[in-house]
Amino acid sequence: MSGIQGKVIAITGASSGIGAETAAHLGERGARLVLAARREDRLKAVVDGITAKNGTAIGVLVDVTRREDLQRLTDTALDHYGRLDVLVSNAGTMAVSPFDDLRQDDWDAMVSTHITGLLNGIGAALPIFRRQRSGQFVNVGSTAAYVVKTPQAVYAATKTAVKVLTEGLRQESGPDLRVTLVSPGFTNTEGVGKGASPEAAAALTQQRDEIAMPPSAIASAIGYAIEQPDGVDVSEIVVRPTVQT
């Protein structure tokens, strides 16, 4: 199976930003989508936007930190479409702050969303992909895993974990499965600065407004990795604005 047309693709964090844009991009190209997030109204708006353009999408309320929610997501794909071809693990939180602020709930949220959330997705999708003898994981990392900038250490550490887990999974995946890491740089989404300490949020949103790329840059990178033929693994893509250091 190659291309995007007809593929069953589940996307976490699909209610806004990169996830919503990726859903729209894949929906326009004929994917059958299962979209996941926690905010029901925002998720419904994304699903409705796709179906209004004759795309195929359903929404599932999912908190990726909960193992059973990811199981429900993949079960929904099987119930509705009979298979799952791709899981895009994109849900994330950029609630960055200096260590001295001791925003430990935010540290926990980044660890549980990016690391536990990713593992929950692997746990739910891997047995399906093995049974089908086909499937693709697309994991959304960050350039923060390549260049660590203060006060983003916890965020960068969790995105480094995403990078490491993705590479380890790729090595174990065998000839039938594909595993892709897509690492965005500054991207113009509502998530930049959201939940961050006030100074960090101000600096990040200012930088976003000055240099960020549109989320379509990441959506098309994800689409590129998915549309390759079976047997071609786009293992890693880093996309950043030219002006980002």
The four Cα atoms 201, 204, 205, 207 give a dihedral, to 10 degrees, of 160
The footprint of ligand NAP on this chain (CB under 6 A) covers a number of residues equal to 32
93: contact with ligand NAP by CB under 6 A: yes
- Among 37-45, 49-57, 129-137, 163-171, which window interacts with ligand NAP (CB under 6 A)? 37-45
Q: Residue 88 interacts with ligand NAP (CB under 6 A)?
A: no
User: CA angle, corner 129, sides to 30 and 181, nearest 5?
Assistant: 70
Query: How many other CB atoms are found less than 10 A from the CB of residue 241?
Result: 17
Q: Which stretch, 1-9, 52-60, 90-98, 122-130, contacts ligand NAP (CB under 6 A)?
A: 90-98
Binding mask 173-192 for ligand NAP (x = CB under 6 A): -----------x-xx-xxxx
Among the candidate windows 1-9, 71-79, 86-94, 121-129, which touches ligand NAP by CB under 6 A? 86-94
146 an active-site residue? no
Q: Least distance (Å) from ligand NAP to the CB of residue 185?
A: 6
Query: Hey, how many other C-beta atoms are within 10 angstroms of the C-beta on 203?
Result: 15
Nearer to ligand NAP among residue 176 and residue 190 (C-beta): 190
What letter does residue 100 receive in the DSSP assignment? G
Per DSSP, the residues of 139-188 read EE--GGGTS--TT-HHHHHHHHHHHHHHHHHHHHH-TTEEEEEEEE-SB-
**Which residues belong to the active site?**
155
